[in-house]
Each structure stands twice: as C-alpha cells, then as structure tokens.
C-alpha cells in the first residue's frame, strides 16, 4: 500500500466524496480544511461523545464466538460563554474512558484504506486516543477512544484525530481486496453500539 499525497486526497474529496463535510463547518470552513491537508493526513473532528455504561453487561466479554460490550451513553456538550462554543469536560479516573464519533463521514472505495492516528495536541495535553484501521469499502462516521490522564476540555467540532489515507498498489484489483463486511457503516452511519451483543468478527 502507498500513502496518498495531499493533492490526491483533495481530488478524492472533491470528486468522489471520500470525506464529507460535517454539519458545523460552513462551505468556506470546509474549503479551508481541504486546502490545509498535510502530507497523507486529513484531520477529523469530534461531533459526539459517549461514555460506557455497565447497564447491559456487568463485565464486557470478547470471545471466539461472541462479544458482549458495555452500552454507551451519550454525553451532551455544554455551552461555554467565555469560549463561545459547545464543550465537553473529560475527566480521568477508573472507568473514565470515552468513545468519540467524527462529524465527517468517510466513503472509502475498494482501492482506499486508512488508519486513524493521534494528533500531538491531544497527548501533549494528557488525552490519549484509541485508534483503529478503516477497511476498504467502509462508509460511515468513525469512532475512536479517548482516555484522559488529566481533565481536558474539548469543543464540539475540534480537530482531535488524524486520518492517514492509503491506496492499494498497482496490480491489485477489486476482487483481490476483502471489502468491509462489518455492521458499523452503511445505512446507519451514526451507529455507535450494538447494545451489548455482537458477532465475534
């Protein structure tokens, strides 16, 4: 696989809707973000935040035949007069890990894959993202973890995670690529939980 250059990512966004504009970005804001692409990376924003609840299962289980996960409860941001924006306050401590969802929706064709990576502004301020791989063929919003070691305040729409975009090498065809087969994208791009029970793969 090869990393895409900024100009290639920009073209895929503009012509193939590789990444879609979040609701809180104006068209001018979005155009500036596209022009600001660095290297192979597009920065993504936080739109929704969740915390784990043990209401469905007491202890999450990841097994060979099934998974039983904690239910997620959404945390609403609060308006901050001084900052003039909607803000979350993330606090450290036992069971204080969070699940975030991007405002952007990605729409990966068969020849594109990606990986989420931490932005240095996060870990420099005591916030450690949990990141993942995005398979070719995935369409939907992206979820990632956030684990604070100190209290951190984040504004809705802040750029908190980076997406590195990759292209399969020449000679690879669609039939060679195993497209995304999971349950997290498609018709319900805002899905964040299976409410406890899901298949093991």
pLDDT digits over 101-127, tens only? 999 999 999 999 999 999 999 989 999
Above 90 in pLDDT, residue 86?
yes
User: What mean pLDDT do residues 161-174 have?
Assistant: 91
In a domain, residue 62? The reply is no
In a domain, residue 180? The reply is no
Q: What is the pTM of this model?
A: 0.85
Instruction: Count how many domains the chain has.
Output: 1
Above 70 in pLDDT, residue 57?
no
CA dihedral of 43, 47, 52, 57, whole degrees rounded to 10:
-100
In a domain, residue 195? The reply is no
Tokens of 174: 């669609």
In a domain, residue 130? The reply is yes
In a domain, residue 192? The reply is no
Selection from 73, 43, 78, 51 nearest residue 154 by Cα: 78
pLDDT of residue 200: 54
Who wins on pLDDT, 84 or 96? 84
Domain at 79, CATH number: 2.70.40.10
Check the CA dihedral 74-28-162-79 and report its sign: negative
Helix then strand then coil, in percent of the chain rounded to 5, is 15, 40, 45
In a domain, residue 40? The reply is yes
In a domain, residue 61? The reply is no
Range of the domain at 148: 2-55+67-169
**Conformational region of residue 196, where left means phi above 0, alpha means psi within -120 to 50, and beta covers everything else:** left
User: What mean pLDDT do residues 37-64 have?
Assistant: 84
Q: How far apart are CA 106 and CA 76, in angstroms?
A: 23
Average pLDDT of the residues of the chain: 87
Who wins on pLDDT, 85 or 172? 85
User: What mean pLDDT do residues 40-63 have?
Assistant: 82
Selection from 132, 59, 136 nearest residue 101 by Cα: 132
In a domain, residue 174? The reply is no
pLDDT of residue 14: 94
Above 80 in pLDDT, residue 96?
no
Q: How far apart are CA 139 and CA 142, in angstroms?
A: 9
């Amino acid at each position: 696989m090869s990393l895409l250059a900024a100009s290639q990512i920009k073209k895929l966004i503009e012509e193939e809707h590789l990444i879609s504009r979040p609701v809180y970005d104006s068209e001018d804001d979005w155009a500036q973000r596209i022009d600001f692409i660095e290297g192979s990376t597009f920065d993504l924003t936080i739109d929704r935040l969740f915390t784990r609840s043990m209401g469905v299962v007491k202890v999450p289980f990841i097994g060979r035949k099934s998974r039983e996960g904690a239910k997620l409860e959404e945390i609403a941001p609060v308006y901050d007069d001084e900052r003039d924006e909607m803000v979350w306050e993330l606090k450290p401590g036992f069971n204080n890990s969070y699940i975030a969802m991007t405002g952007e929706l990605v729409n990966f064709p068969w020849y594109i894959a990606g990986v989420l990576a931490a932005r240095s502004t996060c870990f420099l301020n005591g916030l450690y993202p949990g990141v993942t791989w995005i398979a070719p063929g995935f369409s939907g919003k992206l979820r990632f973890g956030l684990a604070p070691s100190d209290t951190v305040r984040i504004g809705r729409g802040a750029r908190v995670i980076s997406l590195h975009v990759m292209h399969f090498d020449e000679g690879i065809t669609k039939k060679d690529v195993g497209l995304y087969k999971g349950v997290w994208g498609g018709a319900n791009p805002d899905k964040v939980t299976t409410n406890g029970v899901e298949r093991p793969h």
